[in-house]
A and B are shown apart, each in its own frame.
Chain A
Amino acid sequence: MNNFFIKKFFYGDIPEEKGGGSDYQTKHDSTSWPLWEVFIRSKQGLDHKHAGSLHAADAQMAIENARDVYTRRMEGVSIWVVESKYITASNPEEAGELYEPAADKIYRHPTFYQLPDEVNHM
C-alpha cells in the first residue's frame, strides 16, 4: 500500500502552522479515492482557472464529479482535472528568496513609457 503525503495549501499558500491550510493524506487503498485538482474554463477564449479539488476513482469520474460539483450554475465550458499528487507546489517558507528579490526592481514594470494619447486602458 502506498501512502502519499501531500502538503496542500489553501487560501494563498499560508502554511498550517501560521494559521491556515491543511495536510492532505491520500491513501491509495480500497477505502479512499485519490484527490484531484479541478480547473474550469468559464467562457470560450478565457483560460482554465483552479476551481477546487475533489475525490474520484479515476480521471473519467473526476471529470463527471467536477461537472456536478463545479459547473451546476453554468460556470464552465471546459474542465481539466489532474491528480493532486502530480502537482508540485512552491514552498511558502522559501517565499523570501523566491519573491522578495523582485520587490525593488521596479524597472521591470512597463511604467516608464510615455504612451500616446490614442492608447487607452493600459
Chain B
Amino acid sequence: MSRTTTPPATPTAAPPMAAGAAPAHGGLTDALAATPWEELVTSALLGTDRRPPEGASGTGPDGAAAALLDAAALHTVRRRAGLLPAAASPPPAPAPDDPRPPLPEAARGRLAQLLADRAAGSGGRRGTAPDLTELIPQWLATANVHGYRAPDSALPSLLDAARARTDLRPQTLEFAGPRGLWLAGLNPEWKFALRGASGSALLPSPDDSEAVQRLWEEGLFAERIALLGAVRARDADAARALLAATWKTERAEDRLMFVDSLRTGLSADDEEFLERALADRSRNVRATAAELLSALPGSALARRMADRALSCVSPGLTGDEPFVAVEAPHECDEGMQRDGVVALPPSGRGERSWWLGQLVEASPLSVWPARFGGRGAAEIVALPVADGWGEELHAAWCRAAVRQRDAAWARALLGPPSTPPSNGPGTASLAERAKLLAVLPPAERASWVADFIAAHGLSEAFQLLGVCPVPWDRPLGRAVVDALDIARDAGSYPWSFSGVMGLAERCLDPSEADRLEVLTTTPAEPADASPGANGYWSEAFQRLVSTLRLRATMDSELSGSPER
C-alpha cells in the first residue's frame, strides 16, 4: 500500500460546489485556476517574486502572491472534495473460530475493571481497597477452569498485560485463545505470544509430519523452539528424532536451548542422546546434558557419579558412635569434567569441597541407604559428619533431593517444622528450604508450613508460603492469621509483614472473610505499641477482608450464579 493515502482525484472529479464555495473567486483568472498543482507548489516554494505563477495577472508582486493563494485554495478544496477511496490491500485471514462460551456479563465487567487498574499503573498507599492487579492471575485461572472465551474487545488489554508480566502469559494466552493468537500475529509488540505457545494455532499439528519437518528445517529459531516444545509434549521420541537429525549443524546457543527443551518429559529414552551431548563442543551444552542425565537415576552418568561420590563419603570406622567420614576428591580428572563437573570453583570456595558438592549432587540418592547399612534418609541425615564437612554434604543432598524430586530425602533434610531453621538438619537457607518443600506432596507442604509458622512466626515464612497450594487449607490459613494477630498484639507495624499480608490476600480461602471481620476493628493501643500501629493494622485487615470478599464475588461471577 502506498503511503499517500488517497489518490488525488482528477480536477474533473471535483463537485462544482466546492469551487463555488471559495468566496475569493473574484481575482482568480481561469488560466491560474487551471495551472497544475505541482507548479503552484514550485512557485510557492521559490517565492512568487522569483518565480511568478504562469497566468497570474499583472497586478504587481503582492497581486501575484494573492493570486497564487487564491488558486491554491481552489486546488486544495477541489482536491479534498474530490478524494476517492484507495485500492484495498488484501485483508488478513479471518480469525479462527473459538467455540468456547462467552463470559457471564458480571465477570466481563470485572475483567474490564481488573485490566483498567493494571493500565493505570500502581503506586501510592494501599488503603483498605483490594489491589486489583494482583487478582488478575486468580481471575484468569478460574476463567480458564470454566473454559470461557475472552471478550474480543478485551484481547488487546490482555495481550498488553501479558507482555508486561511474564507470569501472566500462560494463563492469558490460554484465555485469549485462537483469536488472541491471531491478533498477536498482527502486532509485532505481541510477538511473545507466538513463542512457546505449545499447541499454538500457528504451528502445524504435531501429527502433520511433513509440515513439522519443513518448519523444523526452514523456520526461525523461535518457531523451531516452539515447534520442538509442541512435538515433545505430544511425542517425546519424535522430538528427539527431529533434534538428532539436524544436531550437527545447529549453532551452540541454539543447541543449548534445544537440549534444555528435553527437560519436559525427560525419560530414560533420552539417555543415549544426552550421553552423546556430553562430548559437545560447547561447555554449556555439556553441563546441561550432564544435569539432565543426573536427574535420571538409572543413567550411566548417574552410576559413574555415584561411584565417585561413594568413594568420597563413607560410614566412619573409628569409635563407637556411627558417623559420616568424608574424603573430598583430590583432583578433577578428565572423566569428571566430561560428566559435567566444573573444575574451577567460584572465588572464595575451596576446590575440593566444590568438586565434592557436585559429585554428591549428581549421584542418585538411592545409593546412600546401602552405603550406610540400610539406614533411611532421616537416619543418614541425622548422623554426625566428621571434620566439618556436614554443611557441604547436606547442602549437596538438598540439591540432589530437589533435582531428583525425592520426597523422602526432602522431608528428612527439612526436619520437623518446629526445629529452628538454623539448627535444622539440611539447610538454613530459606530459598533452598522452599525448593525442598516444593518436592513434598501439596497437602504435606501446607501442613509443614502451618506448623513452622505456629512455631516461629511469620518473619521467615514468606518464601515458604509461596510454594503452598492455593487457596491455603484451613490449618495453614488460620496459622497465618493467628501469627498476624500475634504480631499486631506485639505492637509491630503491619508493613513489616506486607509480603505475607499480600500473599494472604491472594491465597487465603475466601470463606475465611467472616472470621476475620473481628480483626478489622481498632482496639485500644497497648502502652508499648508503636504509635498508630493499630490503625494501620485494622486498615490492613480491612483490605484483607475486602479482598477476600472480592475474590468470592469474582468466583461466583465466573460460575455464573450471582451470590446472594
- Tell whether A and B belong to one assembly: no
Give the interface of A toward B (CB within 8 A). none
Residues of B within 8 A of A (CB): none
